[in-house]
Amino acid sequence: MSKVKGVKTGPEIIVRKFLHAKGLRYRLYNKKLPGTPDLTLAKYNTVIFGNGCFWHGHKGCKKSNLPKTKTEWWKEKIEKTIERDKISKRTLKKLGWNIIGIWECELATKKVKTTLDKLFAKVIKET
Ligand SMILES: [Zn+2]
């Protein structure tokens, strides 16, 4: 996968710890599903993508500012990633999956627990 390495380490651990604390079981990097979701909660028909703000072009986010050199090249590269994300998500929806997307910057704040609680409210309610 072309995702930024940082997402696989720090921020992702936060999400995994959160799920663990809630007693939600997940599977990592499910290659059988479109886009290889970072985490899959099969029991709740939910997949989770941790998105690096830069690589996935988080709109209006400071972290997604393009480099001043080779700007066009980066722009094209990131647009391709966004397009690929869209296709994967569309396919997953068709297959009946709920999709939770978490941005890198959302995990880098002190409010991260509230953010995660909100994102997972629907899933947790069903437990
Ligand atoms: Zn962001």
Enumerate residues 6+ apart whose C-beta is below 8 A from 38. 7, 8, 12, 15, 28, 29, 48, 49, 50
| Distance from Cα 112 to the centre of ligand 1, integer Å | 13
The residue among 54 and 111 whose pLDDT is bigger is 54
pLDDT, residue 14, reads 87
**What average pLDDT does this structure show over 42-48?**
94
The residue among 16 and 11 whose pLDDT is bigger is 16
| Distance from Cα 23 to the centre of ligand 1, integer Å | 27
Mean pLDDT, the chain, as a whole number?
Answer: 88
pLDDT digits (tens, 9 = 90+) for 55-82: 999 999 999 999 999 999 999 999 999 9
| Distance from Cα 81 to the centre of ligand 1, integer Å | 15
The CA dihedral of 57, 61, 66, 68, to the nearest 10 degrees, is: 180
Q: What is the pTM of this model?
A: 0.84
Integer-rounded Cα radius of gyration of the chain: 15
| Distance from Cα 61 to the centre of ligand 1, integer Å | 5
| Distance from Cα 111 to the centre of ligand 1, integer Å | 14
Q: Identify the three-state secondary structure at position 102.
A: strand
Given a contact cutoff of 8 angstroms between Cβ atoms, the answer to whether 98 and 106 are in contact is no
